[in-house]
Amino acid sequence: MPDKPKLTVGGVPEHFNLPWHLALESKSFDSLDVDIEFAEYPGGTGAMTAAMSSGELDIALLLTEGAITNILRGHNNRIVKIYVDSPLIWGIHVAAHSEIQTVEQIRDKVFAISRAGSGSHLIAIVDANERGWPTSNMKFSKVNNLDGAREKLANGKVDVFLWERFTTQPFVDNGEFRRVGQRTPPWPAFVVSVREEILQTHAAAIRQMLEQVNRCCSQLMNHPDAIDIIASRYQLRHEQTREWFQLVKWNTDFEYSEKTFEQVIRYLEKVNIIEPTNRRPSELWYEL
């Protein structure tokens, strides 16, 4: 019997993606006519969109704003599903020894970003805009991932770093980071984006795969021991995990939200992350 074609799914090594690991561990994908491999990308959305462009990655669990920016900048990907309905809470961090004491003092400082077009890049601009600060002359330094940011914050090569608040909590707790503020964009945190050429050949299998993920998301949200499982697997304190779990909501359908996509596009235009576009939000979506 010939080997099944393989599809590689990319995601950050964070608690949001536990349902994918549970699906793989329970062999939920074994009945599909494709093999599913999950690859972790500590560099986040920017690293994954680069991997999609090179053909290394077929499917990615991307920040909503990053996925939309990627497509509107001409990349041949399409969004097929909202993955996490709840918004992402970004912590605004400085080194514990930094002279910065308040969020107002981060203006005009050097921001660590995993790479251009990443969430840490885009949300730094969103945050500055919401505070009424100019964004055209913001200073950024590429650090690749969370570990790179830790190193450069420690040695003073960067001043500020925005990253998911619960993921960075251990470094706040151990005195490495100090959190001076946070930013929560008003849109869903993550979507599933797929290369167009993969959709041409494997759309049905992707739909079946995501149906299994929906099932695992639903089971996790209703699991009596979910908080213990997540805290153990991601080295989070129990009370922090409880707080996060009460806030997060995975999406378990395939509904398209024109309003959500329109909102993100107009916001990205407003802060000059993308050029003004006449493309309809529905053009970014692929109906499985």
pLDDT digits (tens, 9 = 90+) for 129-172: 999 999 999 999 999 999 999 999 999 999 999 999 999 999 99
Which amino acid, 193?
Answer: S
- What is the mean predicted confidence (pLDDT) over 85-94? 98
Phi, psi of 246 (to 5 degrees): -70, -25
Q: Do domains 6-86+188-284 and 90-183 have the same CATH topology?
A: yes
For 166, residues 6+ apart whose C-beta sits below 8 A from its C-beta are 15, 89, 236, 240, 241, 243, 244
**pLDDT digits over 177-199, tens only?**
999 999 999 999 999 999 999 99
Highest-confidence segment of 89-93, 113-117, 275-279: 89-93
- What is the mean predicted confidence (pLDDT) over 238-248? 95
Whole-structure pTM value: 0.94
- How far apart are the C-alpha atoms of 93 and 112, rounded to whole Å? 10
- Residue 135: its pLDDT value, please? 93
- DSSP for the chain, written as a single string: -PPPPEEEEEE-SSGGGHHHHHHHHTTTTTTSSSEEEEEE-TTHHHHHHHHHHHTS-SEEEEEHHHHHHHHHTT--EEEEEEEE-SPP-EEEEEETT-S--SGGGGTT-EEEESSTTSHHHHHHHHHHHHTT---TT-EEEE--SHHHHHHHHHTTS--EEEEETTTSHHHHHTTSEEEEEEE--SS-SEEEEEEHHHHHHHHHHHHHHHHHHHHHHHHHHT-TTHHHHHHHHTT--HHHHHHHHHH--B--S----HHHHHHHHHHHHHTTSS------GGGGB---
- Whether 1 shows a pLDDT value over 60: the answer reads no
**Chain mean pLDDT for the chain:** 96
- What is the mean predicted confidence (pLDDT) over 59-88? 97
- Whether 109 shows a pLDDT value over 60: the answer reads yes
Residue 214 burial (CB count, 10 A): 19
- Residue 2: its pLDDT value, please? 64
- Domain positions in the chain: 6-86+188-284, 90-183
Q: What is the CATH number of domain 90-183?
A: 3.40.190.10
- Residue 186: its pLDDT value, please? 92
Provide the pairing of β-strand 59-63 with 6-11: parallel
- What is the mean predicted confidence (pLDDT) over 226-234? 95
Token couple for 268: 């990205």
- Whether 244 shows a pLDDT value over 80: the answer reads yes
- What is the mean predicted confidence (pLDDT) over 109-121? 94
Which amino acid, 229?
Answer: I
Name the burial class of residue 235, with classes exposed (0-12), middle (13-18) and buried (19+) by CB atoms within 10 angstroms of its CB.
exposed
- How far apart are the C-alpha atoms of 183 and 147, rounded to whole Å? 21
- What is the mean predicted confidence (pLDDT) over 28-32? 96
Which has the higher per-residue pLDDT, 272 or 139? 139
- Residue 3: its pLDDT value, please? 83
Topology annotation, domain 6-86+188-284:
D-Maltodextrin-Binding Protein; domain 2 (3.40.190)
Q: In this prediction, what percent of the chain has a pLDDT beyond 90?
A: 95
Provide the pairing of β-strand 59-63 with 110-113: unpaired
- What is the mean predicted confidence (pLDDT) over 229-242? 93
- Residue 236: its pLDDT value, please? 87
